[in-house]
Chains A and B, each alone.
Chain A
Amino acid sequence: MSLLAVTRRDLRLARRRQVESLLPLGFFVVAAGLFPIGVGPEPQTLRQIGAGVVWVCALLAAMLSVTQMFASDYQDGSLEQMLLAPGSLAEIVIAKVFAHWLTTGLPLVVATPLLGLLFGMAAPAIGMLALTLLLGTPILSLLGAFGAALTLGLRSGAALVFLIVLPLTVPALIFGTGAVGAVDGGQSAQAQLSLLAALLIITFLGAPWATAAALRISLE
């Protein structure tokens, strides 16, 4: 199966379960929206915590749907076929991650400006927040795939993914929110953005192979 076909297949499956696919987005908005209610509507506070809250909620939302990447293929046996297929398993993983990002990550990026407004963030900050999430959500999908592959078929798989993957996302979180903080303080976010982009590249180069190894371990 060509890579594009893998992606398209996953997208089609997601479209069939539209409500399920939109759950992460719903969680993202609800969870982030709860913070002003819990913390208080003071604009100064909200503006300060906005970037961090949105980023953390994005982390959690991304992890919510990550097990879906392999679950249905695991259950109907097509995942084992992919293992035996002549092509590179890592490339299939990349195709699946791409589909996951399109259904889960990209909507988060699109919803970000709305949340930015809820937190009373200034326009440049909102723009930077969206940009960092545009770079960050693929990282989350890549790392999430690794976690999903390791916990394939386990009863507590979904909860385990959180515990396993979230510590690995800390650098992305730091650079992402740091970039927004820099812009808020009137400085250049060049350094943070470069580091975030570097993280994306390194993760893209490493995670699919680690995920493929994890899949082999889980399916042996």
Chain B
Amino acid sequence: MNAATLTWATYAAPSRFYTLAGRLIPWCWAVTAEFCLAGLWVGFAIAPTDFQQGEAYRIIFIHVPAAWLSMLIYLVMAFWAAWGWMLNARMASMYARALAPTGVLFTFLALWTGALWGKPTWGAWWVWDARLTSEFILLLLYLGYIALTEAIDDPRRAANAGALLALVGAVNVPVIYFSVRWWNTLHQGATISLTTAPKMASTMLTAMLLMTIGFWAYSFAVVFARARAIVLEQESEAEWVRTLATGAEKS
């Protein structure tokens, strides 16, 4: 196949995605390592100690990127799931399912680091501020999506049901966030908010951005690997899978 006939749609075929993803994964890991190391260097060696929070604030270099990615991945997941549903594109649906566990991971990390940040800063392991509470609900949305898609045996029904649920979830997230913020400002007795993060020195922001890109590359690496597994699981009847399985294997 020459370059002229190769289009984006070509990679919609599970077989081509499988090969392409396999080639890209090592590069994704390389980018992950570079940016995370760079981010940690800037974050620890260069960024100054925070005036109010001391060294504890350095947790944000994980907390904020994880939170951003948890939200980004949900939207991307909903997007590909919807694409797969509307256009009957199997690869898109498989990719959406591959995204979900990584989304859960980052949501969990955001919550965990949020707790470890809150304890020394605000004195409590858990703080019901708007963003952490919304993050918690996002975790429930992810779990619902995974539970639903895993509970349905028929892959097509599972993918489409998941897509609808993810879309409804995505639409609801702003409403939920708004209502949680409202709720939080009402109970102002405890004026605890993790939004009063340290005033960002530019080095802190740089470190956060570097870590975000690193995490983003990481998600590609892991999601590609998982998607390849899902492709093999769901396309096991296909000719190319049989050839791959029995023939000489290069991943």
Residues of A within 8 A of B (CB): 146, 150-151, 154-157, 160, 163-164, 166-168, 170-171, 174-175, 178, 181, 195, 199, 206, 210, 213-214, 217-218, 220
Contacts and interface: CB of A to CB of B under 8 A. Distances in A.
A160 B183 CA distance: 27
Contact of B161 (A163, A168, A199, A217): A217
B134 to A, nearest CB: 9
B151 A170 contact: no
Contacts of B157: 217-218, 220
Interface stretch (B55-63, B95-103, B138-146, B207-215): B138-146
Given A160-B148, A178-B186, A181-B186, A217 B164 contact: yes
B80 to A, nearest CB: 17
A154 B180 CA distance: 32
Contact of A168 (B148, B172, B183, B186): B172
Contacts of B169: 167-168
B179 A163 contact: no
Q: How big is the B interface, by class?
A: 20 to 34
Contact of B180 (A155, A170, A213): A170
Contacts, number: 72
A146 B148 CA distance: 13
Interface in B176-198: 176, 178-180, 182-183, 186
B200 interface: no
B222 to A, nearest CB: 24
29 contacts: A150-B164, A150-B165, A154-B152, A160-B144, A160-B147, A160-B151, A163-B143, A163-B144, A163-B147, A164-B144, A167-B141, A167-B172, A168-B168, A168-B169, A168-B176, A171-B176, A171-B178, A174-B180, A174-B183, A175-B179, A178-B182, A178-B186, A181-B186, A210-B164, A213-B164, A214-B161, A217-B164, A218-B161, A220-B156
B87 interface: no
Contact of A155 (B140, B151, B156, B164): B151
B241 interface: no
